[in-house]
Amino acid sequence: MKIIVCDDEKYICEDLEKRLREYYQSLDVLILSVSSGEELLRMMEREPEEAACIFLDIEMKGMDGLETARRLRADYPDLPVLLLTSHTELAMEGYEVQAFRFLAKPLRQEKLVEALRAVERSSLTAARHKLKIPTGDREVYVDCEDIFYIKSENVYLNILTEGESLLMRGRMKDLFASLPEDSFFQIHRSYIVNLSHICSFDGKNVLMEDGGTLPVSGRRRELFREKMTRYLREK
């Protein structure tokens, strides 16, 4: 999971990074800081699927936080954007860009914790949403919780559910961005799995409920262990 802090004041970024690490206490949480809206948008364009939420300062030089939030909302409508400012009178403008939360500076710890828990609840709710899968001349709508895993097959993606296999044209990166981040993990360049349908892990492969055995790439194994441990702890 990746969280981005965007603020042109370095000490604000450092303070928030420290608080976030203390809150999550997990190796699979990556916290990155950028100092401008322009830099944030470039980062999102490169890696859109990895951002769980964004802390965004309203008052910045160049592109301000509100304009940055508008652009984010256009491309990533479900991404939680938490606005930061020392001027509480700007809160109403935050509603105009559909901010997930508004946090006043100096940041109070209890308000930060409330906001993070709200993000987590939102993620759990998203886990129950449906995925649209275009197949030939029709669209199939599948509950994400019913997906066992997804396999990349050249230019196609094979979505495996209980008793059904759906083939669609697309890229793993794009599909992963539309899945609930808390319950799906890419274990290999060719496989995305639903953590709720994993039976066991032997250090190299996962055994799925449908009997499938899928490889976990070497560089992803430790992250997978951390992800699975956290998933089971929070289930």
Say if residue 118 is in the same domain as residue 97: yes
Does the pLDDT value for residue 227 go beyond 70?
A: yes
Does 6 share its domain with 109? Answer: yes
Nearest 5°: phi and psi at 166? -115, 130
pLDDT on residue 229: 84
CA gap 32, 56 in Å, rounded: 12
Shared domain check, 149 and 44: no
99-to-52, 131, 162 alpha-carbon distances in Å: 14, 24, 37
Say yes or no: 117 and 139 in one domain. no
Regarding whether 111 and 84 lie in a shared domain, the answer is yes
* pLDDT for residue 119 is more than 70: yes
pLDDT of residue 34 exceeding 90: yes
Listed residues 79, 103, 126: the one ending a domain: 126
Shared-domain flag, residues 75 and 110 = yes
Which residue has better confidence, 86 or 220?
A: 220
Query: Can you give the pLDDT at residue 58?
Result: 93
Instruction: Give the residue-averaged pLDDT of 147-176.
Output: 92
% of the chain surpassing 90 pLDDT: 55
Is residue 152 predicted with pLDDT exceeding 80? yes
- Number of structural domains, the chain? 2
Residues 92-107, mean pLDDT to the nearest whole number: 77
**C-alpha separations of 154 from 7, 142, 151, 167, 187 in Å:** 40, 22, 10, 12, 17
Across residues 106-130, what is the average pLDDT?
81
**Average of per-residue pLDDT across 97-116:** 89
The three-state DSSP-derived secondary structure of 170-216 is: CCHHHHHHCCCCCCEEEEECCEEEEHHHEEEECCCEEEECCCCEEEC
Q: Per-residue pLDDT for 126 more than 80?
A: no
Asked which of 47-51, 92-96, 171-175 is least confident by mean pLDDT, the reply is: 92-96
59 & 147 share domain = no
Nearest Cα neighbor of 52 from 179, 159, 202 is: 179
- Please count the helices (runs of H) and the strands (runs of E) in the chain: 7, 15
In a shared domain, residues 139 and 46: no
CATH number at residue 155: 2.40.50.1020
Q: Which domain holds residue 103?
A: 2-126
Domain boundary at 82, 108, 126, which?
126
Domain boundary among 103, 126, 149: 126
89 and 140 both lie in a single domain: no
